[in-house]
Structure formats: C-alpha cells, structure tokens
Amino acid sequence: MNPVAPPHTGGLLHLIPGTAGLLTVAALGIAVLLLLIIKVRLQPFVALLAVSIGVGLAAGLSVTELFGTVQKSAATSVIETGMGGILGHVAIIIGLGTMLGAILEVSGGAEVLSSRLLGLFGEKRAPLAMGLTGLIFGIPVFFDVGIFVLAPIVYAAAKRSGKSILLYAMPLLAGLSMTHAFLPPHPGPVAAAGLLHVSLGWVILMGVLVGLPAVLAAWAYAGWIGRRLFVAVPQDMVEAAEEARAKVAAERSGGTEAPVALSTVLLIIGTPLVLILAATFSSIALDESTLRSVIEFFGSPFVALTLALFLAYWLLGIRRGWSRKSLEQVSTSSLKPVGNILLVVGAGGVFGAVLKVSGVAQALSDTFHDVGLPVIVLAYLISLVLRVAQGSATVAIVTTAGIVLPLVEGGGHSQAFLALVIMAISAGSIFASHVNDGGFWIVSKYFGITERDTLKSWTVLESVLSLAGFAAAAVLSLFV
C-alpha cells in the first residue's frame, strides 16, 4: 500500500479540543455511517465515502489533502491513496477467486462433490455430508452463490428422509459461512489482510485453525435445532429447482461433456491454498535461495489463483468440450456482482486512511489502550457492534480494520498474531445475522423458513460460529 502523510495539524484542527474532540469526531462519524446505512438506506459505498470526507474535514484535513489538486500527484490525495492502496491488493484476488468459483459452479463440480460425499457417508450421516460440501465448495464460491447452487441438493436430501430441512440446510450454511468469514479469497479476510498488511498464507493457516473448531460447534447446534424444529421442504422451490435441472440436462444432452471427477474438484480448490501456504512457510524455514524464490513466486496469491483458474479452464472446460467463448462468458458474467464489493472495500480503505492521517485513529488507539482490553477482544467487539447495527459483514470488517490498525502498528506483533486479529474481526462480522442482513432473507426464502424460525436457527447458528471462532482465535493468540 502507498504510504500516507503524517497526521495533519493545521486546517480546522485548532477548533477541536485534542483527543476528546477527535474521539467525538470518530463517534459521530460512526453514528452517521450507521444512520445513513440503516435509516436512509444509502448504498454502503456512498455512505462510507461521505462519512470519510466528513470525518476528515471535521478533524482538520484540508480539501487539498483530501482530494488533491490538478498540480499535485494523486499520491498526495488521502482519498485516492486509501482507495488505491487497498484495491491494489484486494481487487485481483477477489476477481480471480470469483472466476474460479464460477467455473466450478457451472461445470457441476458442486453436484459431484455433494453426491460423492452423500454416497460416502450414507443417508444417516447426510447432514455431515452437506456440512462438508458447504465447507469445501465454499472456499472458492461466494456465500449466496453456494446457497443457490447447493439448495436443490438440500431439498432432495430432506425430501427423501422426510425430516426437517433444517437438519440438512444448517450444516451446509455453517460450512459456507465459515469459509466466507475466515478464508481467502473471500472479500472480508482479504480486505482485512490488505489493511493490516498480513500475508494471506498466515490468514489461510489461522483461518483453518480458527474456523474448524468454530464450524464443529456450529454443526453441533445445527444437529440440535434440526431435530427440534421441523420445517417442511418448500414445494415451490423444489419445482423451480427441478425445472432448472431439466433445462440444464436438455442443454447438455447434445454435448460431449465428460463427468467431473471429485479428485479434479479437490485439486482445483486445493492448489492455491497449498501454494500460498508453501510460500509462507518457505519464508520462515528456508534461507534466501533460488528454491525459496521459486516457491514464493508460485505461492504469490496472484500467481497461485491464476494457476488454479487455468487448471479449471482446462480440466473443467476445454477438456470437457467447452468452447473458449463459453469460458469467457462464464468468467465475465461472474464478475458483475463483484463491483459493489470492491467499491465498499475501497471506501473502507479511504475511511481507514482518513482516520490515520487526521489523527483520529491515534486518538482511538490511545483511548483503547487505556481501556486495558486486549486488542483481539476490542477488534471482535467493535466488529460485532457494527455488524449487528448495520448488517453488512464487509462494512463491519473494513471499518473495524481501519479503527484497529493504529492499535497494532509499530507494536512488533508477529504475522501470526495479526492474522488472529483478522480472525477476531471476521468472527465479529458474522454475529447474529438478522433482518438487516441480506443473508438472513436469502436463507429464509430459499429454504422456506419463517422469519421466527430463521431467528431461532440461522441467527443463532451464526452467533455460535462467531463466538466459537473468536474463542479459538483468543486462545491461539496466547501462544503466538
């Protein structure tokens, strides 16, 4: 990321009485942000950008410092530096990860994965198979896309057994949510890694160590609520899913596509994770050498994801009869929903840069240090409050990371510890999904669950996942 200027001391700052004034600016800024998103229903990107400008001006930054001038370099503009610094790190990773997930989705990789796991575990352990499907397929695929693709499999399993759809849907949702919250290339952990300058290898490692016990706790709750709360399979959604399947089958009947092998799906999903982790450990275990340089080259997130995408193009596309045009269309269409995510992440980077340059972040840091709570606890609590208040996990993560950055800067913390701080932020960002969260309504409508029962099942499931993830991160932080 590009460096930003030191805290400003002129402009309007003389009107603000030191730390107390800066803290007031921060509190008002966050309050206005929540008001704009919750009450005014302003798009989060616009809300974050507007609040960043307001906080900067109130804290004493000049218009020139915020926006730059025609004569000055863009690097002197806090807004452009904040936006460009974070997107330079995040945009490529999210873009490549999104295209990889789209190829896996359209090729039928999810169906192969779930059917093989269901066959392996049997009917009695079908909920576990659904949970593992969500966990594995959720690595390269966005949360909502995972629901859209895998919901028909949940319908079929629940219909065959005659049991509550919650018994199959909740483990799947827990797996999807765990990967979305804790593992790259998903936007939240990637954005936090960019803001806190943490290697994605460490984020992946800590994401696995924190996420696995968290998802096990969530699966335990999923099994408990699934046996106690009966929800019938939504017949209208079943019919729609069957119609879509028939349409896809008709389109493929004249083609030459070979079936997807489970090993192929696992190879494509595992390749970038293994390469990135190998690069992280080589920087610790190996001295400077040609071998280490080669490992770090292939383990760069950009290179690792590009290789995985090319693997998917070949193994799931061209080798199975896809045209290059089809690959291009699937890749391009998958990027359409990403624009909003990137703009929100970029605006979060602007907010963090404004907090830092204006001196607000340092005032927050001094105050939080005086509170005496460990930084990992503060990170979790701030993220949790922002999440519950406004609903968006991405907004909660990028806002919290901007606030937490001065708490960890210059503290000599290891990459492992900073990755655990990111885990705490991510855990807070998924707590208590309720009616202000789009994911709440997707779960409710796709699985035919009433709002009341969605609160009892999905909202509590997310809270269990959040608390267990934070607990694991807090315990691990004692040893790194």
Residue 189 lies in a domain: yes
Residue 461 lies in a domain: no
SS3 19: helix
In 40-77, which positions are buried (b, 16+ CB within 10 angstroms) versus exposed (e)?
A: eebebbebbbebbbbbbbbbbbeeebbbbeeeeeeebb
Beta strands in 2-85 (DSSP E): none
pLDDT for the residue numbered 214: 97
Number of H helices, E strands in the chain: 23, 0
pLDDT for the residue numbered 181: 94
pLDDT for the residue numbered 114: 86
Residue 166 lies in a domain: yes
Residue 118 contacts residue 126 (beta carbons within 8 Å) = yes
Residue showing tokens 């979790």: 380
Residue 480 lies in a domain: no
Residue 97 lies in a domain: yes
pLDDT for the residue numbered 75: 52
Residue 427 contacts residue 474 (beta carbons within 8 Å) = no
Residue 441 lies in a domain: no
238's CB contacts (< 8 A; 6+ apart) are: 152, 155, 159
Task: Identify the segments of the chain with pLDDT beneath 50.
Answer: 1-7, 9-17, 73-74, 251, 253-254
291-341 per-position pLDDT tens digit: 999 999 999 999 999 999 999 999 998 888 888 888 898 899 888 878 888
SS3 325: helix
pLDDT for the residue numbered 109: 84
SS3 165: coil
Specify the number of domains making up the chain: 1
pLDDT for the residue numbered 245: 57
Give the CA angle between residues 465, 469, 474 to the nearest 5°: 155
Rg (CA), the chain: 23
Residue 341 contacts residue 293 (beta carbons within 8 Å) = no
Residue 390 lies in a domain: no
Q: How many whole angstroms from its chain centre is CA 347?
A: 16
Spatial CA neighbour of 260 closest among 271, 269, 251: 269
| Structural domain range at position 113 | 86-224+241-334
Residue 448 lies in a domain: no
